[in-house]
Amino acid sequence: MTEGVAFSWSLVAHGAAGRLADRGVLALTGPDARTFLQGLITNDVRRVSPSHAIYALFLTAQGKFLHELFVTAQVDADGNETLLIETEAARAPDLLRRLSMYKLRSKVTLADVSAQWAVGVALDGAADAAPGTAGTMETPEGPAIAYVDPRHAGLGLRLLLPRPVAESLPDAADAYARRRLGLGVPDGSRDLVPEKSIPLENGMDSLSAVAFDKGCYMGQELTARTHYRALIRKRLMRVTATDGQALPAAGTPVLWGEREVGEMRSSLGPLGLAVLRIEDVEKPDVALSCGGVPLTVSGPVPAPRP
């Protein structure tokens, strides 16, 4: 395995690192771990190493969204590899259950290791590194993993930390949400509806979540057909409350006059994401509102990479 980049904990800690309490971590070990995961998720597990992390999706057989996940690799002194999966904490048991369903005779062990590992971010800690660049760092409680967010370098470093270290950090939920919404980056089931959302309607191809040149995986047929036939009629888009008000809750209809043209997804204050019909929002005289709040559309997700 290629050695990862060495990140400095002192620089990260002094660079406004914070914890994301709503994230959990699963671990896959065993000789078949890579092959097993490769056949299930949308991205290419062969690209994962101690120096590179990926972002991927776990889909239904019909190609609908189920789970988002980040995959990193850790290799111990004896050369044994562990694949670590970061995902939504509240939905981690469901992902573990679904992965276990496909284990069959594969020589792989799956476990929830959220009691040992926790997730943090350093939003301004990526410097000039490319998305996905991964490495290690030494913290006061032992080794940790850091990697530039594979979706967008503007989201900084994601951190897999010993839980005591993460719990000593301030909560970063609002700062992280503000940054990702400004960049137009969706956040799991806050923005994609499990068993309903189509990945490419939500910009997942632009967020490096799908490898179109890998082998088969769950839901590949619909994903590939949508990509190659350009069958996208609606899109997750960045929106802003025109008058600076707080946007309504997820699920609130977006209207053009009296006509419903989409639905609000996640938001923080005046920044948000909404699923909108492309043909409607491209019209020059469109004036949108959501829950009585006038909306300005900033464009599809994600925002251009820096």
Which domains can be identified in the chain, with CATH numbers? 5-183 (3.30.1360.120), 233-306 (2.40.30.110)
The listed range with the strongest mean pLDDT (101-115, 227-241, 274-288) is 101-115
Average pLDDT, the chain: 91
Q: pLDDT tens, 282-302? A: 777 778 999 999 999 987 777
92 against 140, higher pLDDT? 92
Does residue 6 have a pLDDT over 70?
no
DSSP 155: G
pTM assigned to the model? 0.92
14 against 273, higher pLDDT? 273
Collect all residues with Cβ–Cβ distance below 8 Å to 204 and sequence separation of at least 6: 42, 57, 210
Q: Look at residue 138 in the predicted model and tell me its pLDDT.
A: 87
Q: Look at residue 178 in the predicted model and tell me its pLDDT.
A: 96
Q: Look at residue 15 in the predicted model and tell me its pLDDT.
A: 58
Q: Look at residue 238 in the predicted model and tell me its pLDDT.
A: 94
Give mean pLDDT, residues 226-241: 85
Q: pLDDT tens, 171-200? A: 999 999 999 999 999 999 999 999 999 999
230 against 191, higher pLDDT? 191
Q: pLDDT tens, 197-225? A: 999 989 998 999 999 988 899 988 888 88
15 against 149, higher pLDDT? 149
Q: Look at residue 233 in the predicted model and tell me its pLDDT.
A: 85
Least confident piece of the model among 9-23, 75-89, 150-164: 9-23
For residues 98 and 87, what is the distance between their CA atoms, to the nearest angstrom? 13
Q: Look at residue 226 in the predicted model and tell me its pLDDT.
A: 80
Q: Look at residue 221 in the predicted model and tell me its pLDDT.
A: 83
CB-neighbour burial class of residue 25 (10 A; exposed 0-12, middle 13-18, buried 19+): buried
Q: pLDDT tens, 118-174? A: 999 999 877 778 999 999 888 888 899 999 999 999 999 999 999 999 999 999 999
Q: Give the type of residue at 72.
A: T
Q: Is 187 helix (H, G, I), strand (E, B) or coil?
A: coil
For residues 93 and 88, what is the distance between their CA atoms, to the nearest angstrom? 9
pLDDT-derived band at 11 (thresholds 50, 70, 90) equals low
Q: Look at residue 222 in the predicted model and tell me its pLDDT.
A: 83
Q: What percent of the chain lies above the pLDDT cut of 70?
A: 93
Q: Look at residue 4 in the predicted model and tell me its pLDDT.
A: 52
Does residue 52 have a pLDDT over 70?
yes
CB-neighbour burial class of residue 192 (10 A; exposed 0-12, middle 13-18, buried 19+): buried
Give backbone dihedrals phi and psi of 174, rounded to 5 degrees, phi first. -70, -40
pLDDT-derived band at 1 (thresholds 50, 70, 90) equals very low
Collect all residues with Cβ–Cβ distance below 8 Å to 127 and sequence separation of at least 6: none
Q: Look at residue 2 in the predicted model and tell me its pLDDT.
A: 41
Nearest residue to 235 via CA among 270, 207, 269, 268: 207
